[in-house]
Every structure is written in structure tokens, then in C-alpha cells.
Amino acid sequence: MGRREAAAVSGRSWRMRGNALLAAVAAGFTAAQLLLVRPDMGLGWDETVYISQVGDQAPAAFFSAPRARGVSLLVAPIASWSSSTGLLRVYLAVLSGIALFLALRAWRGVFPIRVVAGGGALFGSLWVTLFYGPQAMPNLWVALGALLAVGCYLRARAADRPDRRALWGVAVGAALMAVMRPTDAVWVALPLLAVAAVLRHWRLGLVTTAGLVAGAVPWVVEAYTSYGGLRERLAQASRVQGDLGWHLAVDDQMRSLVGRTLCRPCTGSMPEPVLLVWWVLLPLLAALGLVVAVRAGRTAPSLIPLACATTAAVPYLFLIGYAAPRFLLPAYALLAIPVADGLLHLVTTPGGRWRPVAASVLAVAVAGHLAVQFAVLNHITDRTVRDHGVWARDVEAMRALGVRPPCLLTGHEAIPIAYYAGCSSGAIHGNNANMTRAEILSTARREPVAHLSVLGGTPPAYARGWQLHRLDGMDVRIAPTPREGGPE
């Protein structure tokens, strides 16, 4: 075997070992989801909206302006024929693991394989990443699309000649982001478009734009067919999210780290410092990663993802009046690899050897970090199981009272509970308003209708004369049927 052939074999062997390491990280991510996120957790509010668009367990729920159809498309292969939540969780856990592997693989050649694998492990071990991995929610998929797009962008930018595979990766990653959440995709892509324009990388700029446009087409078309136009949909989306504008939500995001899936309004005291350490250190470690990159003469591979992470985080830290940990998943994903680069620099010599003392200290710190992440994950998973269990018990009680499909639920948490019950959901005001008082009363002439409220809550005028039933944490008022004296 000649020297050239030997080098080719050695290169293939090295690539195979690198792929095996990334596959191990992705497999660990999937396994952790299956082991730590309980399959009996039930479906959350937003999940029921997305799944109801393609499933047949309940009529499609109202689809508010900020939402996009990407998640519904993602779950359609399972939800279109099965109502099994456990099967859906396994499907999404496996699919997210495969997507993480492909996204990390895009960074090969941009950073050393140990850095890429370390970044993937850091991102995949966060409680918020694990919690949302098997859920029908868009934010993790925006994060994975961002990883793919930015990694391929860096590869295409550094290539001596057009790298078609990298360019396709940019387009696919941008499209994945946009089909899941178009506005988030634009925020992530701003630095990519700016770099392409300043350095006149027109091909990269066009490919990135094409991916964004391709992914956003369904959302834009729907804006004109269902919301009165693109400007009107954007305005409605802003209202649903509390009127976008200057809102300092950094402290809200910190409060949500205790395991609050939605912090709206975000009141109460700050979590214990041990829960905040990783979040406070994250930008500092990212800055360390950038310093390491500058000294090594490879500034762009760290600076570009850090810039994309920053723009991805801006709307959720400064332009929205509430918080949810999942909003920052794209930023966490893009920070992870530069952070891993900085950490590896701390524990290795310039020659690549381990620094025993530094490595030991880092190992202890990582172990403590993982303990905190898994404790929060266990807490939020158990709480979610309890909360969704209340919905399921209330549905069984309502069925015993005669509220069975076809039926209509209105009021407090009507959307998710209606999905569990197989009913339609309706509201006459608020972010999910989709019908009028007259339509609700008309429906009551044909099928069971119930209004839900918190215990002791005041019902709307049209439901005050309906029969009251006290269930598990909820008041249910059921409209009389025509033969019981209801409206004719």
C-alpha cells in the first residue's frame, strides 16, 4: 500500500472514530430522555394544539398567530394514526437524537472532534433540552436547525471551492428553523446574513435566505388565508405575546430556571444560587471560548455562533414580558461548542495533554452541574405528571356527567382539557378567541357544552345558570340540554 493510500485509510478510520463519538453523544441524549422523562407525563397545553391539527382524538384547537405548522408536520407520522402518548415520546426522543448527531456532524473540521462532542454533551445534558426532547414543541428543533445551519455555514465559508453538501446543510438548517418558528429563524440568521453581505459571500447569503424563505412559506401563506395578511399576523402575534417591545426579561428567565415551564407573570423570589450558577457562568465561558479562538487564529468559527446565539436570545431577554426556559434553547445550542472549546483549553496543555489538577476540578464541577440539572428535571417531570393527571381525572368525571364527544368546552384551560375529552374548545375573548357567545349557546342546543373555571371562579353571564359541579381543583358548569329546559 502506497503512502497516499495509507493516508486515505487513516483518514477514513479517523472520521469513523469521530462519527462514533458523536453517535455516542446522540445515543446518550436519546437514552437519557427515555429514562428520565416519564412516558406517562401526558400532553401539555401547546402540545395538544399542535397534535390536534393532525390527529383525530379531538377537533383541531384554535391556532393562534405566533404558532407555525412545523411541529404538526413533525408529529404527523405518529399522531395521524395513533393517540399513544408513550409512542409519540419514543418517536420524538429517537428523532431528536438523530437530529443532534447530524447537527453535530456538521461541525466536524470546524472544531476538533473532542470539542464538538463535548459541546453536544453539554447541550444535551441541560434539563430543559432533555425535558423538551420528547415533546411536541418547536424550540428544540429551532436549536437543532441552528446548529446544523451555522456549522455548515462555517464549513462552506472556509472551503476553497463551493462545498455543495455544506450549502445544502445551510439551506436545510435554515428551513427547519423557519418551518418551526419563522421569527426565531430570522433572529438566529441575522449574523449569517450580515457576514455574507459584508464579506460578499453572495452564494452563502442566497442559500441562507432561500432556506429561510422555503421554511416560512407555509406561515406566510397562512397569514394571507387565515389572518388577513402578513402584517396583520405579525401584529396579532405581538399582541398574543404581550405586545413586543422593550421588556427586561433577564430576571424572569432566571426565575424560570427552577423548573417553571411558563413564567407569565414571572413573580416570586429568585431560585437558590446553586440553580443559577451554570446560567451565570455560561456567557463568561463563552467569552473564554472566544479568547481561546482568537489566540489560536480561528476567530470566525467561535465569533459567528456566539453572534447567532446573542441575536437568538435578544427577543427573549429584552423584548418580551415573560419567560420560559425553552425560549433560549437555540442560544444554548450555539453557545455549547465555543464553551466546550474554552473548557478544553483549561484542562489541556498546548500539546494536547491533560492537566490533572484542572481536569479533576472540572470533573467535580461538571458532576455538580449534572446533579443540579437532573434534580430540576426530576422535579418538573413529576410535577407535570401530577398536573396532567388532574386534567385526565376531570375528563373522566365530566364524562360521567354526560360531557362526551361531540362536545364543547370553554373557559379555564379549555384547550388541553378539551383535547383529553375529545371535545372542541372555544373562547369569546383572550388570545384564543375563536367564537361568539351566540355560537356557544347555539352549540348547546345540539351537544353537551361545559364552562370550566377555577374553584370559586366567577363564570361569564351566559353560564351562570348552568348546573355547577365541583371537580378536582375546578368548577364545571354544564349547559342544560333542550329537554332539560335549555334554549331552543
Distances (CA, A) of 99 to 23, 212, 235: 11, 19, 33
Please tell me whether residue 255 adopts helix, strand or coil conformation: helix
Residues making up the chain, counted from first to last: 488
DSSP state of 474: E
65-98: b or e for each residue (b if 16 or more CB lie within 10 Å)? bbbbbbbbebbbebbeeeeebeebbbbbbbbbbb
Interatomic CA distance for residues 322 and 71, integer angstroms: 22
- The H or E element containing residue 408 is strand 408-411
Interatomic CA distance for residues 52 and 46, integer angstroms: 10
- The H or E element containing residue 467 is strand 467-471
Interatomic CA distance for residues 355 and 233, integer angstroms: 55
Mean pLDDT by groups of 10 residues along the chain of 488 residues: 50 74 98 93 96 95 97 97 96 98 96 96 98 98 98 92 93 98 98 96 96 98 96 95 90 93 87 94 95 90 97 97 96 98 91 89 95 96 94 95 96 96 95 94 95 93 94 93 52
Burial class (CB in 10 A: 0-12, 13-18, 19+), 303: middle
And the C-alpha cell for 194?
Answer: 450580515
DSSP characters over 295-348: HTT-HHHHHHHHHHHHHHHHHHHHB-SSB-GGGGHHHHHHHHHHHHHHHHHHHB
Cβ within 8 Å of residue 40, ≥6 positions away: 85, 86, 385
